[in-house]
A and B are shown apart, each in its own frame.
Chain A
Amino acid sequence: MGAIRIGRRRTVAVLLGLLVVVLAIGVAIRNDLRLAGTAFHELDDEIETTLTRRLDNLNASLRSLSGMHHAMTRLSQQELSAFGQEIGRSHPYVRAILQLRLVDAAERSAYESAFQEAGFPTFAITASHESGGLVPSPARPGYMALGFIEPLDPGLARFLGLDFYSRSSFGDAIDQAVRSGEVAAAPATPIGKDAFLLFKAVYKGFFVPTTESERSAQVHGVYGLLVDVPAFLADISDSPGLRLSTWNSDQAVTLFAHPEATQPDWVARLLPDQHADVDISLASTRFRVSIDRTLDSRALRPAQWITLTTTFVGLYLAGVLVVFTRLRA
């Protein structure tokens, strides 16, 4: 009878021991996940701070361009080129500065001839196919024609003359920029890969009109920044998946979606994904940064598990020893 009782107590002690081990590992994993959550939260903060600062810088550059445009009666390409070079030097993520002008249908022929006369013999206002190809623009009431790029490189030169209204994604952003007087953004396809565009409208006269209807009536053109996404995201640690969106209408527009840099291992299937949305506002313009990170075995620290389990089991064994000693006594 006594032997049976001792056998039962041992079985219970072993089962309780296993429970303690499982509990210890559970606590260790929970700790690891909590630490990963904290690190992700810190990463969100870092990304929000960095991207807000960079978007603010881009906004300031566009405001400088707009200010220069409004202050001067005549802004030559030479002057704009000199100014653009300085912006490029101070913001390595600005791949190019674009100047677009609203050209009325009646002005089209004279506008094209002026460029041809100035040494651009094949210049014409073109439209962009959704496939990315360029064709002579069909007649329209007005064109938002690209007339200046700094720095001009052979890859971008073919877009001189492109009517940005011919592409709905550009047109929506430009309309938003014109109406609001603030910056608006669009994906850069087909102008550039791995890039997005920021626009700011400029108006006739020396000062920006104060009402939406006046802004729409007095628009002169648009300045754009072609922003290089890898440079824009440079120095962001941990390289999570990032998507930047904006709203030019009710629907969100994705400016870029950058996948997570590293491929997760099989453990990721057992762990929860991390996701956060961070909203950034530039005046009335809203941006949303969606951050995704997949947890995998790199988030787990088995050495900590062993330490914790050993501690728990040690405490448990000490307790068992005390209990058995008392029972025998």
Chain B
Amino acid sequence: MPKCLFVSSYHQGYAWSDGVERGLRQTLQGKCELRQFDMDTKRKKSMGEQKAAALEAKALIESWRPDVVITADDNAAKHLIQPYYRDAALPFVFCGINWTVKEYGFPYKNVTGMIEVAPVKAMIEEARGLVPGARKVLYIGADTSTEIKNAARIRKAAEDQGLVYEEKLARTLESWVAAYRAGQEYDFIVIGSNAGIDDWDTQHAVDAITPLTRRLTVTSHEWMMPVSMLGMTKVPEEQGEWAGSVALQILDGVAPQSIPVIANRKWDLYLNPALIDTAALTLPPQLHSKGKVYQ
């Protein structure tokens, strides 16, 4: 059986990574021998630690000699593919790279995959529709390179729609709650990912924000739904399924460069009725009936 190595930028237990892994394993099950290496770079924050994790992955590639390597998220592309495997013989399939691969120079002749995009334009349009006359929007996320990249996209989408945009990136739950409190002075808040806030505790976050909540909150991350009212959320399994399908094509002899780099297309619609009620917001009936209730 051919050998497939999965290099995840993050760690097991992180909701996004777990979803990607689920999709990948489902696609590759019984078709290749799958081994996983987690770089854990949400928790290993320094550049030195991240580069060391990439070198570990490289050592594993050299010793185990996989037929194809699948990577998830930006740090594997940045610290593993770009410096060591540009136009190499070993094929790589990436997924979960945020918004663009320009900074890594992809596609190489041995690299293809799926970019991760969020429906930010649709999300901001929906929020504007729910808050007539909205002028100011705040983005709150973790202080990580991923969130900085996400924030730049939200900024562009917001400014394209004539909104005044500001952002607050947090390193601790306390500073995240402070940002949320400040957000009540804006017309609506876009909730980014918490990944990278080391002391994050969802129940504590919910308890802290419930008495503060007056403004609409929207997110594109399903795992942030406990602290958001409306979610237009990406589906991580789609990334893993695509990466797995591409890996199988490559194992069948298709050249990586003949498979174009594409973006994800799926997202789902979620509502958090408890938080909506707390803010005493009234959603239009069609949104109420369409959105999945976040449990």
Residues on A facing B (Cβ under 8 Å): 76-78, 81, 118-123, 152-155, 157-158, 160
Residues of A within 8 A of B287 (CB): none
Residues of B within 8 A of A77 (CB): 265
With known contacts A153-B245, A154-B254, A158-B258, A120–B263 Cβ distance under 8 A: yes
Which residue of B102, B106, B260, B267 is within 8 Å of A123 (Cβ)? B260
Residues of B within 8 A of A158 (CB): 258-260
Q: Which residue of A lies closest to B101 (CB)?
A: A121
Residues of A within 8 A of B264 (CB): 119
Give the interface centre of B116, B254, B260 by most chain A CB atoms within 10 Å.
B260
Docked-complex contact A119 and B245, CB < 8 angstroms:
no
Q: 9 pairs across A/B with beta carbons < 8 Å? A: A78-B266, A78-B267, A119-B261, A119-B262, A122-B107, A153-B245, A154-B254, A157-B260, A160-B262
With known contacts A76-B122, A157-B259, A121–B100 Cβ distance under 8 A: yes
Task: Let me know if B85 is at the binding interface, CB within 8 A.
Answer: no
B252: shortest Cβ distance to chain A, in Å?
10
Residues of B within 8 A of A122 (CB): 107, 260-261
Q: Which residue of B lies closest to A80 (CB)?
A: B265
Task: Let me know if B119 is at the binding interface, CB within 8 A.
Answer: yes
User: How many A-B pairs with Cβ below 8 Å?
Assistant: 53
Residues of A within 8 A of B119 (CB): 78
Give the interface centre of A81, A120, A121 by most chain B CB atoms within 10 Å.
A121
A275: shortest Cβ distance to chain B, in Å?
39
Docked-complex contact A121 and B122, CB < 8 angstroms:
no
Residues of A within 8 A of B107 (CB): 121-122
Task: Let me know if B246 is at the binding interface, CB within 8 A.
Answer: yes
Task: Let me know if B249 is at the binding interface, CB within 8 A.
Answer: yes
Which residue of A118, A153, A160 is within 8 Å of B117 (Cβ)? A118
A238: shortest Cβ distance to chain B, in Å?
33
Residues of B within 8 A of A153 (CB): 245
Q: Which residue of B lies closest to A160 (CB)?
A: B260
B53: shortest Cβ distance to chain A, in Å?
26
Docked-complex contact A120 and B266, CB < 8 angstroms:
no
Docked-complex contact B265 and A155, CB < 8 angstroms:
no
Give the interface centre of A121, A152, A154 by most chain B CB atoms within 10 Å.
A154
Q: Which residue of B lies closest to A85 (CB)?
A: B266
Docked-complex contact A120 and B260, CB < 8 angstroms:
yes
Residues of B within 8 A of A118 (CB): 117, 263
Give B84-116 interface residues, CB cut-off 8 Å to A: 99-102, 106-107, 115-116
Docked-complex contact B265 and A157, CB < 8 angstroms:
no
Docked-complex contact A119 and B263, CB < 8 angstroms:
yes
Residues of A within 8 A of B116 (CB): 119
Please measure, in the bound complex, the distance between the C-alpha atom of A171 and the C-alpha atom of B254, giving whole angstroms: 29
Q: Which residue of B lies closest to A119 (CB)?
A: B263
1/0 per residue B110-146: CB within 8 Å of A? 0000011101001000000000000000000000000
Please measure, in the bound complex, the distance between the C-alpha atom of A76 and the C-alpha atom of B126, giving whole angstroms: 14
A135: shortest Cβ distance to chain B, in Å?
14
